[in-house]
Chain A
Amino acid sequence: MKTFAKKILFRIVLLTIVVSALFAMKLPRSYYFSIPEKTDFSKMTWIENKLNATPNLDSTVVFMGSSICFNGINDSLMNAWDTSSTEYINLGLTHTCYAIIDALLENMVVDRNLRPKKVLLCFKGDAMARNIHNMYSLVAESDQIIHSAADGNMLFVPSFLKRASWNVNAATRFFKHDDGDERMIFHSNYGFEPQRVRDSVEVEKIYKRLKAGSEANFASIEQEAKGGPQSFKLKLLLAKVDYLENVKFQRNQFEKSAALLDKYGIDYDIILYPNMISARMEKEYLMADYIKRTFKNIDYSKHEVITVNDPAFKDATNFVDMNHLNPKGAAVLTKIIYEKLSSN
């Protein structure tokens, strides 16, 4: 048994060395960013190409975040409305993950030395980001992935192996079928992608299905805000969410992005994107309070948490699901945010 264990251990060590060497290989960024091109995440390739062609962002307001930003902020409208030299660009991408946003921000600010006029960070109206983005290991540099372990990335091992895999894939991709879909490539001069319109009756059905869960979620946030002793069961649940679902790491990454922007003197605000349930329950303030309670290192006298309380966001005809706006809803949100930014 001892010999068997020794031989297995020896092989594990050897494999770790080989995989680490593969992980450390640095291939051109263009390779990593060519991979999501024909997938749901093609916006990543678009962002990379856009930044490659951008000499500076000194007079540009940058929107960063997940699909609620990607499909919710119409930067072409903002650019049309604003006759000054200020420009607007939507760098939102599909799926919520603060780690991938942080990696993109670091590349933009540190590696490319770009200093946007303002950054609008995105926050989902009803929940924290969980787990990790499917494409994190492509967008993040190898040293960022290594550091993510120290930041509490519970999915560090898969992230590490994934990066090594994509490096090996550069040699083995020839015999793999390229099952990407040309139709997925995001083509636009602007970063906004309108969602396909869904019948409001369907949206109401989704609302009915998810309402109870969201109400419970809001109730627990309210309970947490009130303070007081937590039951053992609740503590266990919170620990599960924090560690097994990687939420603690996601919180660290959001705070890290804010700290990075502070360090480089870049102005930023946080947009709390509208959610149909919170709008109908008129509980938008709950997540704003959560942000202020959770991210204590952000100076909220300088950086606003923008909430939008508008009857339009109670209306199913503006949504495709609980969080995602259709083009009509996106136009309403864009107008509100634009006016907010112009008034500051």
Chain B
Amino acid sequence: MLFNSPEFLVFLIVVFSLYWLVLKKHHRMQSLLLLVSSCIFYMFFIPKYIFILFITILIDYFAGMKIATSEGRKRKVYLVVSIISTCMVLFVFKYYDFFVSNINSISSIVGWNYSIDAMKIILPIGLSFHTFQSLSYVIEVYRRKQEPEKDFLIYSLYVMYFPQLVAGPIERASNLLHQFHEKKKFNFSLAAEGMHQILWGMFKKVVIADTCAAYANHAFASHDTLSGMSLILGAIAFAFQIYGDFSGYSDIALGTSKLFGVRLMRNFNLPYFATNISDFWRRWHISLSTWFRDYVYFPLGGSRVEGWKLYRNVFTIFVLSGIWHGANWTFVMWGLIHSIFYSAYVMIYKPHKKSKSEQSNPPSFVSNFTGGILTFFIVTLAWIFFRAANVSEAFAYISDIATQPMFASDTKVFLKLAILIIPFLLLEWFNRKSTEGVIFSSYNIKPSVRLAIELVLAVLIIDCFYTLDHEQFIYFQF
């Protein structure tokens, strides 16, 4: 079930009504309702895959209990068993075919008569997200930062909670589990905030992302015939497509969750206003970047290590982050580009060696502005690899930018994008102080004006929903 589908609207109304009208005094039944709804939500994709999720839940639930009650080497064994079994599911479904095709390519290059058959199985939706969420739970229990969850229903809900099941945010047990235990009372302002966030998320997805998708699809499909400027604008269109798509999804997830009285972590914080690449990664897909920071970067020594080890750590997290996105060399390249620019940033500015007082000195407007432009350029360059079907297509796209005439009649068509993107960016800028990006929540706007804005957004969503091709949420495939 997609968030931008009529089925989801009906589903949400039914679950919300049952939750607050029928079961408002039965906290446990509310949790059960959320779990059953999450199962139904998940089974809309490929029903039998629910068993994979069930097995993962079962393993990590018992592993969490065992880790907490064991001491010494046993704890580590349980942790390793849990990590391996959870990651094995991810490997089989997501990476096995990629691994096999690379083995086959290598064996044919070196002249071995050896090939392994690919499994060609469909990837369970959101597998990477709930795998990482489960991993974070067992690691936190192992680190004794989290009590094991004894209630199987609550633990299952932690993994399966439908607003964030298929594309995050990748929640931490410390943020989510206690909320499921708390008795819920309907909170008007939270629910209203949730509705505004859903509306804004839908706008970002249906109006911004899907409109930009048409430009990006055209640019990537015909890059050998378009002018250089059109290709640059096509890459920018993809940058806004993926931002609108994923941050829109996250807004809908956060907003939906608020309707049930549960706050999820913020996943985006105006990433295209980042003033450097490090700042970008503090603002983009925050739940994933903090996951890699806490469970990979810090255990490797983080930025406290000296010399080449620091760059090894940067390289490791970005390449892993690329592979996390998908089994394709394009994602590895995407991670690699980020690691190169991040390393260059660390090498030049040495932010890890600056004292807190040095770090708190605000940079000048000019420095922020040029830094912002440069960061956006780097990020967009990396998006070309993310979007392309394969690495050679990405290089061909970049080469076409340089070799095709810079302006042609098609450039005018792509310039229309500015009419969409510039007002959107301005809106985001004015909205920068709002709580969790909830539209205009930081402004004291007259109710009638707020209502008018809501209506305009809703009409534009309906317009684009029916007149544009629907693009599936990009991050659903991960």
Give residues in A with beta carbon < 8 Å to B. 1, 3-4, 7-8, 11, 14-15, 18-19, 22, 158, 161-162, 164-166, 168-169, 172-179
Give B195's nearest chain A residue, CB to CB.
A8
Tell whether A175 pairs with B417 under 8 Å between CB atoms, given A3-B188, A166-B466. yes
Alpha-carbon distance between A7 and B192 when the two chains are bound, in angstroms:
9
Give B217's nearest chain A residue, CB to CB.
A179
Tell whether A4 pairs with B451 under 8 Å between CB atoms, given A19-B459, A175-B417, A177-B218. no
Tell whether A176 pairs with B188 under 8 Å between CB atoms, given A1-B20, A165-B466, A168-B462. no
**Chain A neighbourhood of B463, CB < 8 A:** 164-165, 168-169, 172
Alpha-carbon distance between A161 and B458 when the two chains are bound, in angstroms:
12
Alpha-carbon distance between A8 and B24 when the two chains are bound, in angstroms:
19
Give B21's nearest chain A residue, CB to CB.
A1
**Chain A neighbourhood of B466, CB < 8 A:** 158, 161-162, 165-166
> CB within 8 A of B191: which of A4, A176, A179?
A4
**A14 and B451 form a contact (CB under 8 A):** yes
In the assembled complex, B348 has its CB within 8 A of some CB on chain A? no
Which of B24, B416, B459 is packed against the most chain A CB atoms within 10 Å?
B459
> CB within 8 A of A174: which of B195, B416, B455?
B416
Chain A interface main SS type: helix
Docked complex: B372-430 residues within 8 A CB-CB of A: 413, 416-417, 419-420
**A174 and B465 form a contact (CB under 8 A):** no
Per-residue contact bits, chain B 188-201, to A (CB 8 Å; 1 contact, 0 not)? 10011001000000
**Chain A neighbourhood of B20, CB < 8 A:** 1
**Chain A neighbourhood of B416, CB < 8 A:** 174-175, 177
CB A6 to nearest CB in B, in angstroms, measures 11
Tell whether A15 pairs with B186 under 8 Å between CB atoms, given A8-B195, A179-B217. no
Tell whether A177 pairs with B451 under 8 Å between CB atoms, given A1-B20, A169-B467. no
Alpha-carbon distance between A3 and B417 when the two chains are bound, in angstroms:
40
CB B5 to nearest CB in A, in angstroms, measures 11
**B462 and A176 form a contact (CB under 8 A):** no
**B192 and A176 form a contact (CB under 8 A):** no
Which of A1, A18, A177 is packed against the most chain B CB atoms within 10 Å?
A177
Docked complex: B234-276 residues within 8 A CB-CB of A: none
Give B454's nearest chain A residue, CB to CB.
A11
**Chain B neighbourhood of A176, CB < 8 A:** 211, 214, 464, 467-468
Tell whether A177 pairs with B454 under 8 Å between CB atoms, given A164-B462, A165-B463, A169-B463. no
Alpha-carbon distance between A164 and B455 when the two chains are bound, in angstroms:
14
Docked complex: B330-357 residues within 8 A CB-CB of A: none
**B459 and A22 form a contact (CB under 8 A):** yes
**B462 and A175 form a contact (CB under 8 A):** no
**A174 and B419 form a contact (CB under 8 A):** yes
CB B281 to nearest CB in A, in angstroms, measures 30
Alpha-carbon distance between A18 and B459 when the two chains are bound, in angstroms:
8
Alpha-carbon distance between A15 and B186 when the two chains are bound, in angstroms:
25
**Chain A neighbourhood of B462, CB < 8 A:** 19, 161, 164-165, 168
Tell whether A177 pairs with B413 under 8 Å between CB atoms, given A11-B451, A168-B463, A172-B463. yes
CB B416 to nearest CB in A, in angstroms, measures 5
**Chain A neighbourhood of B6, CB < 8 A:** 158
27 A-B pairs with CB atoms under 8 Å apart are: A4-B186, A4-B191, A8-B195, A11-B451, A11-B454, A11-B455, A14-B455, A15-B455, A15-B458, A18-B455, A19-B462, A158-B466, A161-B462, A164-B462, A166-B466, A168-B460, A168-B463, A168-B467, A169-B467, A172-B463, A174-B419, A177-B214, A177-B218, A178-B413, A179-B214, A179-B217, A179-B469
